[in-house]
Amino acid sequence: MHPRNGESLVALSVEDVARLSDLARIDLSPQELEHLAPQLEVILEAVARVSELDTEGVEPTSHPLPLRNVFRPDVVQPSLTNAEALAMAPVAEDERFRVPRILGEEQ
C-alpha cells in the first residue's frame, strides 16, 4: 500500500491530534495542533511503511550488535571512611548525605 497522487497512508486530522494531546495531558494551542498534525502524519506513515517489510526469517533482536558483559572480581579494596566521604559533602546529617526532598515526600 503506497500513497498515490499525494494520498497519505495515514490520515491524521487536527481533531485526532487534539484528542491525543488530551489523552497525554498536553495542552496545545490551535496553532500548535495545526503545526503538529502534518508532522505526526509523516511519522505514522514511516511506521506504517516499516510494518510492510517482509521480516520472515529475520531473528528478533534487542540490539544490533552482540553484547557481552565484562566482569571483574568483586574484591574489597581500600576506600574512603564514612567520615572522609561526609567531609566532602555540602551538607551532612545523622552520618548521611543530606539531599533536597523530592516529589513532596512526607517525613
Residue 45: count other Cβ atoms within 10 Å of its Cβ.
15
- Condensed to tens digits (0 to 9), the pLDDT of residues 54-78 reads 988 888 888 888 888 888 888 999 9
Give whole-number Cα distances, 2 to 42, 46, 76, in Å.
13, 11, 62
Over pLDDT 90: what percentage of the chain? 47
Backbone angles phi, psi at 72, to 5 degrees: -130, 155
Question: pLDDT band for position 101 (50/70/90)?
Answer: confident
Cα-atom radius of gyration of the chain, to the nearest Å? 27
pLDDT digits (tens, 9 = 90+) for 20-35: 999 999 999 999 999 9
What is the set of domains in the chain, with CATH numbers?
14-51 (1.10.20)
- Cβ burial of 72 (10 Å; 0-12, 13-18, 19+) is exposed
- Which one has a higher pLDDT value, 91 or 2? 91
For residue 104, pLDDT beyond 90: no
Note the pLDDT of residue 9. Answer: 59
Nine-digit cell at 79? 576506600
